[in-house]
Structure 1
Amino acid sequence: MAKLHAFKGFRPGKDKVNEVASRPYDVLNSAEARVEVQDNPWSFLHVVKPEVDMPEGTNLYSEQVYNKGKENLKKLISEGYFAEDDSELLYVYAQTMFGLTQCGIVGCAAVDDYLSDVIKKHELTRPDKEEDRMNHIRVTNFNAEPVFFAYPDHPGLDAIVERVVRGEAEYDFTTDDGIGHHFWVISRQEDIQRIIEIFDREIKYTYVADGHHRTAAAALVGQERRKNNPVHRGDEEYNFFLAVHFPASQLTIIDYNRVVKDLNGLTPAEFLEELENGFVIERKGTEVFKPMSLHTFSMYLEGTWYSLTARPGTYNDDDPIGCLDVTVLSEQVLGPLLNITDLRKSKRIDFVGGIRGLEELSRRVDSG
């Protein structure tokens, strides 16, 4: 069963949250982050992307960058922009996007649950990104961003969350990207204990929806600290990591896109010709094309959007893994045509979250 741990959160005051709040570290690059922190010394990007305070060209993974993040975190605390809660609590975080609101329980997940597969993973992690987040945790000694978990709907948890969100929110604001953020403190001890009890007795598994690298990094650092602590007990804070748990029925799945740096020696015409063996190709023009059906992909190549529909017989709908579009893409395009067989380690492929929109794909391709 899943463990949920209450904790003393560090968070900004109501009058400071708009200055501190930032986008996640992995949805914008360093140049974009530098623009966002201009004239705002209190943005949390100074902690999660501390290279913004270093000379351009600085190695993003150097020790001085992580130390700068630690320094910036200490400054947020010392200047009163972050304060620690007095007691161990749980929280509710709600996000409004695409006209839908989802409410999640903020608490700490257990490293042991990750190691024992109570926390279910669905993607492999890239060693370089994993090590980056590990170093950030090691140096700052801080879980800076929560991971995003899903759990099977439970009426008891729903009832508590619904009652909490009927009260006045601690934070309630909308960021420049149009996303609404709402936050409540669960302060009643009976509610906290009941939530923990339900997870411990009735929630068999939780599922990583977003944050595989942060989850892996927290678990690996936790293991390191266990080994280095001769009086390890099991209740130390390094045995837990920050997570927001959302009921499965409230989740909206968005795309997660691939950007490939080259065509493995093929010309664009040759690449399209090879693709025709496995896909029906339709030229869509310069307007963004978003696929709306299974086994249909969009592709942006040399200023043009294409629809690629996998031909019948090139996949097996009776195979729960083989019929996934991610499998079709890997087995028909990335591997045989582009020679990208290890997505964890290849430097020729990158990933762009759907929250950035398909326009980000064309921007990346057009910029080289």
Structure 2
Amino acid sequence: MAKIKPFKAVRPTRAIVGLVAARPYQSYTVNERESRMDYNPYSFLHIVNPGYKYDQVITGEERYKLVRNRYLEFKEDGVFIQDKKPSFYVYKIVNRHGQEFNGIIAATSAEDYEQDVIKKHEDTIEKREKTFKSYLQTVGFNAEPVLLTYPDNSVIASIIKETQKNHAEFEFTMTYRDTHYLWKIDNGSTIASIQNEFDQMKTIYIADGHHRSASSYLLYKDEKIKNANHNSDESYNFFMSYLIPESDLVIQEFNRLVKDLNGLTKEEFLIRLDSFYRIENRGPVPYTPSKPHHFSMYLDGEFYSLYLRKTRYSFNTALDNLDAQLLYKTILQPILGINDLRDDNRIEYVNGRHEMITIKSSVDNGEFKVGFGMCPATIKQMKHIADEGLKMPPKSTYILPKLRSGITIYEY
């Protein structure tokens, strides 16, 4: 049963929340980061990039300590304040395309992660898990929720809708034209009603944030061992999450670009492909696949459609049915020689926000030799793969909403 808990969030003041909120650090180019930090002293980027103050690149434990210092300075200067009562936070995002996301920010259980009540569908990298765990232990806070999804629930939907009739604590629009709203729920009976609904859910699913949740779990294990008076209620037993209903989740595809044909000529490559796919030349006009197990390919100035020859492929598990796995097993690995999708520098990924024209231009400029487009995975596929205890290949899904850092902060 899924256990969630209200918490006393540390939040920016209403007047400057739009200036504080930031995308994940890695999503900015160096120039973007520097520009924002040059002209916005309130940006959360100043906290996570403390070396900027000294015009130095600082790494490791020294950086973590300085992150902690910058965070405390933001609190001392009144940029951040902490709520006095444990609360749930109804959070709404409306993006520039008119897509709307409604959910609840809450503390979710590390024990649920351990016991597979919170299910995973992606592999994590151990080194990244441990690095972020050390970061959390030193800085003492987490500023970006894990994105979790749950089956649509009429009671929770009604509470969210009723809460949104009130004046929002926050309402601000980012430069990406995403508008964010936040309401606080600190009424005991409403909190209990929400907890009761989640308590009846056998499973909830990680949509985005597998490394953050894995690192929080490692932190929980460490702190539990160190605490002789551990009672399962300490803050380290939980991690901050944004929980949204499955119907609000948007899954887009990641398309693939490959730098060479693994020593094959164009003609040899097409002949090898023919054993797995029925191939049709679609000419120079961008072409997008229309159904599962159907890919588009751009090669040497022309688009192709690839239709799977199903006699050449066995569907034995939920993972086998995933297009990202299918592409890997029939083309990327056996023909193009790409075995490690995480570390092979011959392959890159383009998320579904970019149309096939991006694939075309990346090949036409000579940086890549061939590109592949696919249909997005579904929430049903994601859940089936997680339920079978399997893991998707990296970059199988590009999931919306994308969250901002520094809007609600969970302290350990």
Shift of 1:167: 1.3
| Deviates most, 128-137 or 328-337 | 128-137
Q: 2:60 corresponds to which letter in structure 1?
A: S
Aligned match of 2:224: 226
2:392 corresponds to:
none
Counterpart of 1:295 in structure 2 is 293
State the TM-score, normalizing by the size of structure 2.
0.77
Deviation at 1:300, TM superposition (A): 5.7
One-letter identity of the residue aligned with 1:241: F
Q: Shift of residue 258 of structure 1?
A: 4.4
**Cα 1:52/1:209, change in 2 over 3 Å:** farther
Quote how far apart the aligned CAs of 1:249 are. Answer: 1.7
Cα distance, 1:173–1:107 mapped onto 2, change above 3 Å: same
Contact 2:185 / 2:191 at 8 angstroms: preserved in 1?
A: yes
- Alignment partners' CA distance in 2, 1:221 and 1:260: 37
Counterpart Cα distance in 2 of 1:179 and 1:136:
29
Matched letter for residue 113 of structure 1: D
1:114 counterpart residue number: 113
Report the equivalent of 1:213. Answer: 211
Once residues 223 and 170 of structure 1 are traced to their aligned partners in structure 2, the CA distance between those partners, rounded to angstroms, is 35
Distance 1:166 1:64, change over 3 A: same
Match of 1:3? 3
Cα distance in structure 2, aligned partners of 1:194 and 1:261: 53
Deviations 1:128-185 (A, max 9, x none): 4334432332221111200100001111111111100111211122222222211111
Deviation at 1:340, TM superposition (A): 3.2
In the alignment, which residue of structure 2 is the partner of 1:247? 245
| 1:321 positional shift | 2.3
Further displaced range: 144-153 or 355-364: 355-364
Q: Is the 8 A contact 1:316 1:322 kept in 2?
A: yes
After TM superposition, give the deviation of residue 70 of structure 1 in Å: 2.5
Cα deviation for residue 204 of structure 1 reads 1.2
User: How far apart in 1 are the matches of 2:108 and 2:255?
Assistant: 28
Cα displacement string for residues 324-346 of structure 1 (whole angstroms, at most 9, x for unaligned residues) = 10210221123223433343555
Map 1:97-176 → 2, pairs under 5 A = 97=95, 98-176=97-175
SS in 2 for 1:313: helix
Change (3 A) 1:99 1:339: same
* 1:191-211 deviation per Cα after TM superposition (whole angstroms, max 9, x unaligned): 1121112212x1111101111
Report the equivalent of 2:327: 329
**TM superposition shift of 1:82:** 1.1
Q: From the superposition, tell whether residues 326 and 5 of structure 1 become closer, same or farther in structure 2 (CA, over 3 Å).
A: same
Match of 1:24 in 2: 24
User: How far apart, CA to CA, are the structure 2 residues paired with 1:94 and 1:308?
Assistant: 39
Deviation at 1:54, TM superposition (A): 6.9
SS at match of 1:157: helix
Query: After superposition, what is the alpha-carbon deviation per residue over 1:288-340, rounded to whole angstroms, capped at 9, x for unaligned?
Result: x5433212334566787655443443434574321210210221123223433
C-alpha change, 1:327 and 1:104, in structure 2 (3 Å) is: same
Amino acid at match of 2:225: K
The partner residue of 1:203 within 188, 201, 208 is 201
From 273, 278, 289, the equivalent of 2:276 is 278
From the superposition, tell whether residues 44 and 358 of structure 1 become closer, same or farther in structure 2 (CA, over 3 Å).
farther
Is the contact made by 1:286 and 1:303 (CA closer than 8 Å) also made in structure 2? no
CA distance in 1, matches of 2:83, 2:32: 32
Percent of aligned positions that are identical: 36
Do the aligned residues in 2 keep the contact of 1:147 with 1:214 (CA within 8 Å)?
yes
Give 3-state SS (helix, strand or coil) of 1:232's partner: coil
Q: Distance in 2 between matches of 1:270 and 1:42?
A: 56
What is the distance in 1 between the residues matched to 2:49 and 2:283? Answer: 37
SS in 1 for 2:220: helix
The one-letter code sitting in structure 2 at the alignment partner of 1:93 is Y
Higher RCO by CA contacts (8 Å cutoff, separation 6 or greater): 2
Amino acid at match of 2:160: V
Alpha-carbon deviations, 1:15-58, whole Å to 9, x = none?
A: 011101111345345454334433112212333455666757x4
Number of positions where the alignment pairs a residue of Structure 1 with one of Structure 2: 364
Aligned to 1:15: 15
CA distance in 2 between counterparts of 1:90 and 1:221 reads: 23
Q: CA deviation at 1:352?
A: 5.0
What amino acid maps onto 2:42 in structure 1? W
Q: Which amino acid aligns with 1:20?
A: V
Unaligned regions of 5+ residues in structure 1, if any? none
Q: 1:101 to 1:367 in 2, by over 3 A?
A: farther
Counterpart in the other structure of 1:181? 180
The 2-side partners of 1:47 and 1:230 are apart by 32
CA contact (8 A) 1:33 1:52 kept: no
- Over the residues paired in the alignment, what is the CA RMSD in angstroms? 3.1
Q: Distance in 2 between matches of 1:118 and 1:37?
A: 40
1:305-320 alignment, distance < 5 Å: 307-316=305-314, 319-320=317-318
TM-score by length of 1: 0.85
Q: Distance in 2 between matches of 1:52 and 1:258?
A: 34
Shift of 1:114: 0.5
Q: Which moved more, 1:107-116 or 1:318-327?
A: 318-327
Which residue in 2 is equivalent to 1:40?
A: 40
